[in-house]
Amino acid sequence: MEGAVDLLAAELGGFASVRDVRSHRASVDCRVRGGLQEIYDCRLYSSAAIRLPGRPGDVDFLVPLQESGLLAGEGALGFRVAPFERELVELIERRLGWKNDPRGWTVNVTDSEQGWVAELGPLHWPQRFGRSERLPWATNPVVAEVMVRLAKIRDGQRVLDPFCGSGTLLVAASRHAHGVQVIGSDCVAGSVELARRNLGSASLSVGLAEELRHPAGSVHRVVSNLPFGKRVGSHRDNQRLYPAALGEIARVLTEDGRAVLLTEDKRLFRESVAGVRGLKIVRERLLRYNGATPTVFVLMPTR
């Protein structure tokens, strides 16, 4: 995802370096000392492919994957080779005892433009962090991780999402610091019920973002994916919604608060912020993924 690469490198610290960003795609070369656990623990990607040294004349190039710790205790690992090469498949089965399983693979060995790479099942998002209830328009989990980092959430703070949907952003916020109190609301009762399943005991309610039920200056961070006016709502709806919701966000934020908001209705958003007393845009970050190009806006109260 373009727009998250520098954060990925920062998250991995000395374990990663940014190699290239071009043509709406982000390519990251991660160098890991002592195994793949650092990549596994990072939340800023959906899946990862590990470059394998040389060509597979034998299967020694796969041994480090088997010894990484991520595949320990799996028994006869399921694997897939693409494009299919019978000799390589038979060699892996004979030497490593793995089982050729194209549909249920744990290791996917692929010949790519960059050479042979291996995808590991444990490095895919659902296996790392579990499956969650989601709506078709739910926030991409990697986008959620980017946004909570830009929010700079601290221990014990109150974090609000007034368009919480199924709660993806609040789940990310709750994991980002200790003792975070996450609060969410949505105008659709069914969405709030999904969020309850994902968040458990969080404070969730059905309500309108333009009529927040929180005292003035009571929320440290607001993190939210606004309706783009495409799959949800319309540009006309947003013309009324954005100014009203931003006015409420300005009201409930603490003096040192911060709001991180995502939208593709960018011109309207900027115009709405300019017309709301008490908020200013301090940072913008363009994201590109799956054909979408939303911008993350970071806002703070004006003094």
Residues facing 64 on adjacent strands: none
Q: What are the C-alpha distances in Å from 210 to residues 22, 60, 213, 246?
A: 39, 60, 10, 8
What kind of fold does domain 5-128 have according to CATH? VC0802-like (3.30.2130)
- For 17-69, write each residue's pLDDT tens digit: 555 554 445 456 666 665 677 788 888 888 888 887 766 666 677 776 766 67
Domain boundaries, given as residue ranges, for the chain = 5-128, 130-301
Predicted TM-score (pTM) of this structure = 0.84
Supply the pLDDT for residue 28.
62
Question: Scanning the structure block, which residue is given the tokens 């409420």?
Answer: 248
In 3-state terms, the chain is what percent helix, strand and coil (to 5)?
35, 30, 40
Question: Scanning the structure block, which residue is given the tokens 């623990």?
Answer: 41
Which class would CATH give 130-301? alpha beta
Supply the pLDDT for residue 16.
58
